[in-house]
Amino acid sequence: MAEAPLGGRPRSWVLAQAGARGTGRQEGMGRMVHRGVQRFAVPAMFGVLAIVLAFSVFASSISAQLEPVASPVASPQTGECVPGAGDAGSAVAATPVAVDSATPAATDVADAVTAAADNVINCYNAVDVDGLVTLISGNLVADKFGGALPETLLPYTVLGYGDVNTYEDGRVGVQIQYLAGDYQYVTAIWVFVDMDGDYVLDEEVLQTSQPDGDAVIKGFSVADDLPVNFAQGGTTSFFEVVSLQGNNTSTTQRVFELYYLGAVDTATPVVDATDPSTAAQDVPGDATLVGVVSLAAGELGDIALVNAAIGNYLLVDTSDGTVANFSVTEAVEVEI
């Protein structure tokens, strides 16, 4: 199996796919235990009213947020990758049951599932593909990666684990916050299934990411008859948190990749996104992948960037290769 780089343009390993993507969302979220990360009791004070309005779209399914982490710094964990006994990319459940009924897991189960999550991350960060595919199901590959494990794997920095719960379908979920690469802040529930004594990662249920700091939201959308686009323009001045809020109104799953193109003239887009022939392969070869989100048909989700670099970015819809330009400019000082 060829090794995958941690930078540059992705290719992919195609694995066995499972059935329909799960649509569950966890009701209620518990205490977060941080690993050597400074904790804040005061909620984030967002810099613009828009963020309050946008997050309200998700609030109905979340009764309490995990405690946010202030200015996290990427420090990907390393450790031994222990392969599982399962088949690569095997399907576990054709249609994952919604994560809507949680019961606190027994201590031994919670410890085993947290250890399984650590092992997945160890294999992922080591780019040990042979080991990784024995620890994840076909459902996870289809749900998170669109059916193919990408060659470019953003290393994970675990910021903390939260509560571990069991669900009516027999699976077990652990709350997790992590950085993907240097900038993308992710809050999720990792749902595992017991396969002959091994806990296999079966689904990632994304939650709204709300890291501490002044924030701005830029919305993008895609439809069956409309390529990916930023409706209100793809430019923002620097904020501690830049959240690209996606709305997939199409009838198919979409995987979006965000690339950093460098600190160049933000007034001149590098790629002509208005050209229908523009495709993902037109992304400059030295572009750096900084964020990824997979959205099912009709789903909302975000790429939340913490302390994003100033410069030009390109958002790529990998399903059809269309792109949208995005840029972060110097912060604007406002005198009051």
- Give me the pLDDT at residue 269, please: 54
pLDDT tens, residue by residue, 112-167: 999 999 999 999 999 998 999 999 999 998 888 887 777 788 999 999 999 999 99
Check whether residue 182 and residue 138 sit in a common domain. Answer: yes
- Full residue range of the structural domain in which residue 231 is found: 215-329
> Structural domain tally of the chain?
2
Tell me the average pLDDT of the chain. Answer: 77
Q: Is 334 contained in some domain?
A: no
Check whether residue 52 and residue 73 sit in a common domain. Answer: yes
DSSP state of 42: S
Domain end, chosen from 179, 207, 235, is at 207
Q: Two tokens at 295?
A: 């959205």
- Give me the pLDDT at residue 218, please: 96
Domain end, chosen from 207, 238, 261, is at 207
Share of the chain above pLDDT 70, in %: 68
Check whether residue 197 and residue 224 sit in a common domain. Answer: no
Q: Is 165 contained in some domain?
A: yes
Q: Which residue has the tokens 């995990």?
A: 66
Q: Residue 45 above 80 pLDDT?
A: no
pTM of the model: 0.76
Q: Residue 229 above 70 pLDDT?
A: yes
pLDDT tens, residue by residue, 275-303: 544 555 567 888 999 999 999 999 999 99
Q: Which residues contact 336 (CB under 8 A, 6 or more apart)?
A: none
Share of the chain above pLDDT 90, in %: 51
Check whether residue 185 and residue 245 sit in a common domain. Answer: no
Q: Two tokens at 326?
A: 């995005």
Check whether residue 219 and residue 192 sit in a common domain. Answer: no
Q: What is the CATH number of the domain that holds 245?
A: 2.60.40.420
Q: How confident is residue 97, by pLDDT bands cut at 50, 70 and 90?
A: low
Q: Is 108 contained in some domain?
A: yes
Q: Is 3 contained in some domain?
A: no
- Give me the pLDDT at residue 277, please: 45
Check whether residue 199 and residue 219 sit in a common domain. Answer: no
Check whether residue 221 and residue 195 sit in a common domain. Answer: no
The answer to which of 67-71, 94-98, 185-189, 322-326 has the lowest mean pLDDT is: 94-98
pLDDT tens, residue by residue, 240-285: 999 999 999 999 999 999 999 988 654 455 566 555 445 555 678 8
Q: Is 7 contained in some domain?
A: no
Domain end, chosen from 146, 173, 207, is at 207
Question: What is the spatial distance between Cα 132 and Cα 170, in angstroms, rounded to a whole number?
Answer: 23
Long-range CB pairs of 265-271 (<8 Å, 24+ gap) are: 266/235, 266/311, 266/312, 266/327, 266/328, 266/329, 269/312, 269/325, 270/312, 270/314, 270/325, 271/314, 271/323, 271/325
Check whether residue 243 and residue 169 sit in a common domain. Answer: no
Residue 96 near residue 112 (C-beta atoms within 8 A): no
Report the amino acid identity of residue 71.
S
First to last CA, the chain: 59
Check whether residue 241 and residue 125 sit in a common domain. Answer: no
Q: Is 95 contained in some domain?
A: yes
